[in-house]
A and B are shown apart, each in its own frame.
Chain A
Amino acid sequence: MSPEQKPDSLMTAEGLRFDGRRPDEMRPIQMEVGVLKTADGSASIRQGKTYILAAVYGPRELHPRHLTLNDRAYLRVVYRMATFSVPDRKRPAPSRREREISMVIANALQPALFLEEFPKAVVDVFIQVIQADGGTRCAAINAASLALADAGIPMKSLVPSVAVGKAEGTLIVDLGDEEDKYGQGDVPMAILPNTNELTLLQQDGSFTREELVEAIEMGVNACRYLHELQKDALKRAYSKRATEEDDDEEDEEYDDDLETDLGEADIMEDE
């Protein structure tokens, strides 16, 4: 029931988008690692008004057992939207859309992971969309990949992801909700940054072959930028944790010093 208004035009006369962005400009992005203490690994992402949490549990024992893979861990991704994350209340039961997106996210992440290290186990990736404002599957992949790294799952690289779309004939990067709904098309993708190979590619709308090639090139560039943001988020989390641990160590050293002092005092008394 939140007011949802269709903008008159998605592009301005100056070639800017209706929210003032350049065609290749992303929305403000904030990624944070280690946000949920109960999980083995976790991350949050805010991309424009989109807000998503991802948690990783595992590798751990797989239930139900019949899903067990004998040569590698089973990667189980569950993408869920909160009922209040969208303008109309979403029904609480998992929808077909949520199931499909869970599957494509798993396929996007899997090529980066060394799941063969954990035969018969499961690595659970739980994604909760708190607020949806376009590009949730891509934002979810960015966050999930950080959560996997935070959980210490061996991986070749992080997996950055972005959607490229088209509004009034112009290719635009990182669609907002209105651009997604009223634009001419949407191409979400995810890449392995070290080889530039695509692990997720979907498309709707209408594009020419040339447009698609250009869209993918734009997307890959945006993903390389996102990859830097992801690495930065990891470094921030772990340098913070490292300084906290350093503080602890200093305390321990202090304790040690006390003990040695006492020891010396004892010796001196003996003398």
Chain B
Amino acid sequence: MGDFSAEVISHIDRNYIADILSKGERVDGRQFGEYRPLEIEPSPVAAKAEGSAIVRLGGTSVVAGVKVLTGEPYPDTPDEGVVMVTAELAPIASPLFELGPPKEDAIELARVVDRGVRESESVDVHKLCIEPGKKVYMIFCDIYTLEYDGNLIDASSIAANAALLGTKYPEQKLEDGKLVETGKMLELPLKNMAIEHTVSKIGSHLVIDPHLKEEMVQDCRLTMAIDQNDNFTAMQKGGGKGPMSLEMIDNAMGMALESTKEIRELIRESMKDAE
């Protein structure tokens, strides 16, 4: 997930990945612009979470759950609800993850996925207001990594979007200073959906959806959030110190634009099945 350039990987593997890329192939037989098989399991936490999804992207899997709470709005945005995405790299998911408080890589993952949801204004926060200045809905989307085999950002972004799309919660209103349920179930006011897409730079090659070994040898990665109008709403270059030319960045943007449409459709389809 993070910068694994210090992680041990054999020279044989390193050379093999580079050699095979220069022949136009990848170690697992994929094309440079080919995603791994993507599977979305809708609502695995139906009894306790307002929305949830498990995403399996090749050997990587994550679970995202949404809790809808109520609370006081921030003083500078009294009529806006709160949306927050967090992520944890639990040691259950990989021998590379250690116990303890979140480190740089977990914080980066959470912030990048959060930015993808927030900057695209996926959720209309004005519609999350119950009583301006007093009560708003607070949407927490928490992501747990279950199996780590590369490209956690994309898997997490897909899971967060799927979980938010499937979220249903009881409507509440303020009566005599107390919150009461009206008995109506609401869906989240979603007005956009930005999918994050990662392109990995290995030598002079660009590949999408890197698996673990490719991530370990990559020079760097570029993650882009692309919304439903094909606008870029967030970006992050990370996963190593390698530089990228403008030409490469432009190519990466092209690769990302191509595959996010399909992914967005798959999310919509999968969560429709849940109903």
Contact = CB atoms under 8 A, between A and B. Distances in A.
Given A63-B98, A84-B67, A128 B45 contact: no
A88 B69 contact: yes
B240 interface: no
Interface string B118-146: 00000000000000000000001010101
A127 B144 CA distance: 12
B99 interface: yes
B46 to A, nearest CB: 8
B48 A38 contact: no
Contacts of B92: 36, 39, 53, 55, 126-128
A105 interface: no
Given A36-B147, A63-B98, A126-B90, A2 B50 contact: yes
Nearest to B98: A63
Interface residues of B, number: 35
A130 B145 CA distance: 12
Nearest to B163: A84
Interface in B76-103: 86, 88, 90-95, 98-99
Contact of B140 (A89, A130, A131): A89
Interface stretch (B12-20, B29-37, B58-66): B58-66
Interface string A37-58: 1110000000001010101010
B170 interface: yes
A1 B49 CA distance: 9
Contacts of B49: 2, 84-85, 131
Interface stretch (A75-83, A107-115, A149-157, A214-222): A75-83
Interface of A: 1-3, 36-39, 49, 51, 53, 55, 57, 60, 63, 76, 78, 80, 82-89, 92, 124, 126-128, 130-133
A124 B140 CA distance: 29
B147 A38 contact: yes
Contacts of B52: 84
Contacts of A86: 48
A204 to B, nearest CB: 22
Contact of A89 (B69, B90, B148, B169): B69
A51 B142 CA distance: 17
Interface of B: 44-45, 47-50, 52, 59, 61, 63, 65-70, 86, 88, 90-95, 98-99, 140, 142, 144, 146-149, 169-170
Given A37-B147, A84-B49, A85-B65, A1 B91 contact: no
Chain B CB within 10 Å, residue with most, of A3, A83, A92:
A83
Contact of A51 (B45, B69, B95, B144): B45
Contacts of B95: 38, 57, 60
A80 B59 contact: no
A87 B146 contact: no
22 contacts: A1-B50, A1-B70, A1-B169, A1-B170, A2-B48, A2-B50, A36-B93, A36-B146, A37-B149, A38-B93, A38-B147, A49-B47, A53-B92, A53-B146, A82-B142, A83-B142, A84-B65, A92-B88, A124-B91, A130-B44, A131-B44, A131-B45
A83 B91 contact: no
Nearest to B68: A1
B87 to A, nearest CB: 10
B22 to A, nearest CB: 29
A2 B49 CA distance: 7
B142 A128 contact: no
A131 B48 contact: yes
A38 to B, nearest CB: 5
Nearest to A87: B48
Determine which residue in B49, B144, B170 has the highest number of CB atoms from chain A within 10 A of its CB, and name it.
Answer: B49
A247 B169 CA distance: 48
Contact of B149 (A38, A78, A88, A124): A38
B172 to A, nearest CB: 9
A163 B19 CA distance: 57
